[in-house]
């Protein structure tokens, strides 16, 4: 941890609390200032919500609320749960061709029976503000300019803001999804960030020992409280990305109470990486507007 960490709020155990809500609001304010300085051009984020999944509806509502705070235009497109594959594809295709729409987010998961891959493939790379298409991920692999998946980007923004050193440090990412795990590995290993990264997963032998070698742990396996104090090297930075809804409420992959007594820095759940996913989405939307000539570079 950097010496700047002395200014930050700490947990009862002494770890720096990496507050995603606070940093999200700082980023939203910065984006609004950039848009206003450019004369408030109409930067538009469109979302596609299919069905009535309550968590998805909450996520989309929060994205629109923060987009408005950032000075952006929100366009909410909704289809019923029984919408056909062709109907969903037609909507996304029309948004892709609409020059007034700069970023498109298809809220996942789609209802059962719908295949997300053909839908995502309709997104032009410049408008893929979730960074999830094969073309966006391919750009990330090759180190080319493009949109980075929002949650992994949010983890990096938290690391930057809270003084988590990455150069030459060892990092472990638990989980190998294309949504978080794989792009997180690529980001941490990128030139300029320069961590030495291990990808761990459900079949990793001696996961505790693998994690204890790390200065940075990113838990993104979707297994409630799987990361305990035994997994964490004293002073390590721990980012909790996993989200599981239980009768107790939202539970992360990290046993927060135990780990905060050992870690040097830790994200809360909720209030850590989740808000940063929205912040990164809005960052990507502003980048999309720049790529499409709406905002100055």
- Dihedral of alpha carbons 65, 67, 68, 70, sign: positive
Residues in the chain, overall count? 297
Q: Which of 19, 126, 130, 253 is catalytic?
A: 130
Q: For residue 45, which of 32, 31, 22, 63 has the smallest C-alpha distance?
A: 63
Q: For residue 265, which of 287, 237, 289 has the smallest C-alpha distance?
A: 237
Count the neighbouring beta carbons within 10 Å of the beta carbon of residue 142. 8
Gyration radius of the chain over CA positions = 19
Q: For residue 158, which of 222, 241, 223 has the smallest C-alpha distance?
A: 241
Q: Which of 107, 126, 184, 255 is catalytic?
A: 107
Tell me if residue 136 falls in helix, strand or coil. helix
Q: For residue 188, which of 162, 214, 166 has the smallest C-alpha distance?
A: 166
Please say if 52 is a catalytic residue: no
Q: Which of 19, 63, 128, 240 is catalytic?
A: 63
Please say if 194 is a catalytic residue: no
Please say if 230 is a catalytic residue: no
Catalytic residues: 63, 107, 130
């Amino acid at each position: 941890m950097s010496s700047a960490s002395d200014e930050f709020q700490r947990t009862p155990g002494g770890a720096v609390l990496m507050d995603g809500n606070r940093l999200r609001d700082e980023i939203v304010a910065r984006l609004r200032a950039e848009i206003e300085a450019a004369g408030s051009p109409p930067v538009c984020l469109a979302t596609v919500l299919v069905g009535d999944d309550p968590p998805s509806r909450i996520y989309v509502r929060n994205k629109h609320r923060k987009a408005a705070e950032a000075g952006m235009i929100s366009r909410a497109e909704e289809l019923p749960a029984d919408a056909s594959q062709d109907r969903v594809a037609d909507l996304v295709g029309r948004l892709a061709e609409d020059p007034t729409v700069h970023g498109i987010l298809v809220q996942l998961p789609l209802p059962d029976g719908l295949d997300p891959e053909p839908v995502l493939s309709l997104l032009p790379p410049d408008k893929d503000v979730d960074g999830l298409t094969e073309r966006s991920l391919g750009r990330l692999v090759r180190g080319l300019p493009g949109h980075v998946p929002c949650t992994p980007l949010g983890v990096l923004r938290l690391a930057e803001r809270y003084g988590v050193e990455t150069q030459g440090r060892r990092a472990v990412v638990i989980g190998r999804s294309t949504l978080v795990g794989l792009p997180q590995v690529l980001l941490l290993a990128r030139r300029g960030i320069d961590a030495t990264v291990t990808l761990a997963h459900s079949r990793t032998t001696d996961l505790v020992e693998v994690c204890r070698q790390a200065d940075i742990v990113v838990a993104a396996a979707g297994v409630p409280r799987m990361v305990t104090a035994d997994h964490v090297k004293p002073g390590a930075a721990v980012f909790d990305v996993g989200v599981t809804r239980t009768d107790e409420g939202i539970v992360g992959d990290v046993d927060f109470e135990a780990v905060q007594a050992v870690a040097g820095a830790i994200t809360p759940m909720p209030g850590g990486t989740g808000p940063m996913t929205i912040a990164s989405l809005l960052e990507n939307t502003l980048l999309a507007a720049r790529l499409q000539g709406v905002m100055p570079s």
